[in-house]
Amino acid sequence: MIYLGLANNEKQAMVAEYVRERGIKKAFMLTPAKFAIECPVVEIIEYSSIIMYKTFYRLLQEIDGSTLVVINECLRTQNRNDLTYNCIRHFLAQTSHQLIFQYLPIIDGFNDFLSLVDFDTHSRWKRETNQTIIEEASIVCAEVAPIFNRVDIGVSDSEISSYENEKAKLIKNIGLKDPHTIPRNLYLISGKAKLQHIRSDRWYIGRNNRFKLSSFQTFRENKYPNAPYAVFEVCHNFIDFSDFLFLSGQSIFDFLVAGLKIDEWYFQRCLKWIEELKRVYSAIRQYQKRS
């Protein structure tokens, strides 16, 4: 069973109930460390250690038909043939007791969700790319989609000039570098314009705290106790934003947008990602109506 959109306390209660009702004596939770949940009789297996020989072969020996395997927030790559995913499939093939928890069903796009379907169906349709295979999975879905309240920030002529000069320089020197280097670097320029909007009585989230703000956190931290946060600047990789959504428990954000083309590009990119997220939820609802 795939469970989408659950908070930690809900997951914890569900694992405890499953263990109690089925008399489970041994369980493993495969999870990135920052998402780990303490539960009775459950051993935490850190995601990055799954592919290590000592972990992989031990679990192959210990998992049997009476073992519960909990897959917790393990959608970490878009590659369905990823080595860690393949190791997880081997574990799941040895038991019928499994719980799959994922806060959001995608990283970037619809096909990401098929990796979770592979886990739930013991990879019977692993080579199938038709998105209708989600009909073969058992899914319980609590929809979570962020809402961005746009806050427009004006920019000066000198800031526009600096932006255009930097863009020309980046394009000229891109060479064989990753083309995503250009938007990543250009986006940092608008930070100075946004400083005028910073308030001392609220917290902000962004890529790095280069301005030494006292109420500021970045996207790769393990805890976010100061919600609600305003988006000072958004991360380039959506998986980092997904992690932040789950760890902060926040879903509605003020989103600062400076009057530069790169800010508009990032804001529209985020809106398209939300639409893709909603498309997956819509497909799941349609499947549930038919089943």
pLDDT tier at 289 (50, 70, 90 boundaries)? low
Sign of the torsion angle spanned by Cα atoms 272, 274, 280, 285: negative
Question: Which tokens sit at 226?
Answer: 């100061």
Q: Mean pLDDT across the stretch 126-147?
A: 91
Contacts of 46 (CB under 8 A, 6+ apart): 31, 32, 33, 36
**Amino acid, single-letter form, for residue 61:** Q
User: If we measure between CA atoms, which residue out of 242, 249, 218, 234 comes closest to residue 32?
Assistant: 242
pLDDT of residue 145: 94
Q: Go through the domains of the chain in sequence order and give each one's CATH number.
A: 2-142 (3.40.50.10810), 147-280 (no CATH)
Span 236-276, pLDDT tens digits: 999 999 999 999 999 999 999 999 999 999 999 999 999 99
User: Coil, helix or strand for 168?
Assistant: helix
Q: Mean pLDDT across the stretch 141-166?
A: 94
Question: Which tokens sit at 260?
Answer: 């530069």
pLDDT tier at 171 (50, 70, 90 boundaries)? confident
Greater pLDDT, 154 or 173: 154
Q: Is the pLDDT of residue 291 over 60?
A: no
Measured between alpha carbons, how far is residue 43 from residues 29, 46, 84, 97, 100 in Å?
Answer: 6, 10, 18, 15, 16
Q: What is the mean pLDDT of the chain?
A: 94
pLDDT of residue 18: 97
Contacts of 48 (CB under 8 A, 6+ apart): 32, 33
pLDDT of residue 123: 87
Angle at 77 between CA 268 and CA 27, to 5 degrees: 130
Judge whether 124 and 130 are in contact, CB under 8 Å. Answer: no
User: pLDDT > 90: what percent of the chain?
Assistant: 83
pTM, 2 dp: 0.94
pLDDT of residue 128: 83
Span 76-90, pLDDT tens digits: 999 999 999 999 999
Rg (CA), the chain: 21
**Amino acid, single-letter form, for residue 88:** I
pLDDT of residue 233: 97
Q: Is the pLDDT of residue 172 over 90?
A: no
Span 180-238, pLDDT tens digits: 788 998 999 999 899 988 999 999 999 999 999 999 999 999 999 999 999 999 999 99
Q: Is the pLDDT of residue 154 over 70?
A: yes
pLDDT of residue 290: 62
DSSP character string of 250-261: --EEEEEEESSH
Give CA torsion, residues 207, 263, 112, 68, to 10 deg: 30
pLDDT of residue 24: 95
Q: Mean pLDDT across the stretch 19-40?
A: 95
pLDDT tier at 125 (50, 70, 90 boundaries)? confident
Q: Mean pLDDT across the stretch 132-157?
A: 94
User: Coil, helix or strand for 185?
Assistant: helix
pLDDT of residue 176: 56
DSSP alpha helix (H) spans, the chain: 8-22, 53-62, 83-92, 113-120, 157-172, 181-189, 191-194, 238-248, 261-290
pLDDT of residue 174: 77
User: pLDDT > 70: what percent of the chain?
Assistant: 98
